[in-house]
Amino acid sequence: MPFTQQANKIFRQVIEDYHLTDNVDAPIRNPYQRGTIEYQLYQKCWIDTVQWHYEDIIRDPHIDPIEALSLKRRIDHSNQDRTDLVEDIDSYFRQYYSDVTPLPDARLNTESPAWAIDRLSILALKIYHMQEQAKRSDASPEHIKKCQAKLDVLIEQQKDLSTAIDQLLDNIAQGRIYMKVYRQMKMYNDPTTNPVLYKK
């Protein structure tokens, strides 16, 4: 089974699991064994799904400012968890392909496997929610038509991105591309590098 076929299946499962309660505070119930790539993919998409709904909530024009600030802190924390998990997934691939000797003319890719998978997870969310919009019974025909057109593009994009990721992994396995794992080194969450924090 191609890697992205498995990943897309897990992402759909996560999104459906989340919408059983549709609650950002619902506990995650990851069915996969800790330490496996399946476990990491489930965790990754769960974070993305919760954050998707954080972003909906915070755009409520009537949200209480105190609640909005609290939610912004949760989004910041979620972003850090997302970044950390992407890096963990890249570490998995680095270890998985550690026995591969790059060919003399091997090249680097502009994007690591995990950051491409990050986009694939977000695409799964876009598709799910655009499907919701395309099926709304309370929306105008124009809205339905516009959302269906967007959905068609998203599905094509998912197919193309899946193909590109599988090709990237195959190229790494064959030694035609080698990968490096770079840490994001975000500065605003670090009290030693954010001047607003360390000057206090």
**For 103-146, what is each residue's pLDDT tens digit?**
999 999 989 999 999 999 999 999 999 999 999 999 999 999 99
Q: Does residue 131 lie in a domain region?
A: yes
Q: Does residue 9 lie in a domain region?
A: yes
For position 197, what pLDDT does the model report? 64
pTM of the model: 0.91
- Quote the domain boundaries for residue 65: 3-186
pLDDT tens digits along 61-101: 999 999 999 999 999 999 999 999 999 999 999 999 999 99
Q: Does residue 154 lie in a domain region?
A: yes
- Number of structural domains the chain divides into: 1
Sign of the dihedral defined by the CA atoms of residues 82, 78, 186, 157, in that order: positive
Q: Does residue 29 lie in a domain region?
A: yes
H runs (alpha helix) in the chain? 3-18, 37-58, 65-96, 113-134, 141-173, 195-198
For position 95, what pLDDT does the model report? 94
